[in-house]
A = this chain, B = another copy of it.
Amino acid sequence: MKNFNDHIGLYTDHYEFTMAQGYYLDGRAETKACFDYFFRKNPFNSGYVIFAGLQDFLEMLNNFKFNDESISHLRRVGFNNDFLKHLKEFKFKGTIFAPNEGEVIFSNEPVRVEGNIIETQLIESMLLNVINFQSLIATKAARIRYSAEDRLVMDFGLRRAQGLAAIHASRAAIIGGLDSTSNVYSAYRYDLISSGTLAHSWIQSYGNELTAFRKYATSFPKNCVLLVDTYNTLKSGLPNAIKVAKEMEQKGEKLKAIRLDSGDLAYLSKEARKILNKANLRYVRIVASNQLNEHLIKSLIDQGAPIDAYGVGTSLITGHGDAALDGVYKLSVIDDNPTLKVSENMEKITLPGSKKIYRYFNGDGKFYADGIVLEAEKNIDTICHPIDIHKCAVVTGLGKEELVHKVVENGETIFKNKSVYDISQYAKQRLELLPEEHKRFENPHIYKVGISKKLLKLKDTLINGFEK
Contact = CB atoms under 8 A, between A and B. Distances in A.
Nearest to A313: B324
Contacts of A452: none
Interface stretch (A336-344, A374-382, A391-399): A336-344
A184 interface: yes
B341 A12 contact: no
A62 interface: no
Nearest to A199: B15
A70 interface: yes
A331 B205 contact: yes
Given A13-B182, A14-B194, A331-B204, A21 B162 contact: no
Interface in A224-247: 230-232
A28 to B, nearest CB: 8
Given A189-B2, A196-B18, A324-B314, A201 B159 contact: no
Interface string A160-181: 1111111111000000000001
Contacts of A51: none
A299 interface: no
A28 B205 CA distance: 10
Max chain B C-beta neighbours (<10 A), residue from A201, A339, A340, A344 = A201
Interface stretch (A124-132, A301-309, A436-444): A124-132
A43 to B, nearest CB: 12
A15 to B, nearest CB: 3
Nearest to A219: B22
Contacts of A189: 2, 7
A295 interface: no
B263 A344 contact: yes
Contacts of A314: 323-324, 326
A26 to B, nearest CB: 6
A15 B130 contact: no
Given A4-B167, A314-B323, A231 B466 contact: yes
A195 B121 CA distance: 17
Contacts of A70: 188
Interface in A424-448: none
Interface in A315-369: 318-320, 323-324, 326-327, 329-331, 334, 337, 339-345, 348
Counting contact residues on chain A (CB < 8 A from B), the size range is 35 or more
Interface in A77-133: 77, 117, 121, 124-125, 128-130, 132-133
A200 to B, nearest CB: 6
Contacts of A420: none
Central interface residue in A15, A77, A218, by most chain B CB within 10 Å:
A15
A267 interface: no
Given A165-B165, A167-B163, A262-B343, A10 B188 contact: yes
A160 B198 contact: no
Interface of A: 2-5, 7-8, 10-19, 21-23, 25-26, 28, 31, 33, 35, 53, 70, 73-74, 77, 117, 121, 124-125, 128-130, 132-134, 136, 156, 158-169, 181-185, 187-189, 194-202, 204-205, 207, 215-216, 218-220, 230-232, 262-263, 314, 318-320, 323-324, 326-327, 329-331, 334, 337, 339-345, 348, 466
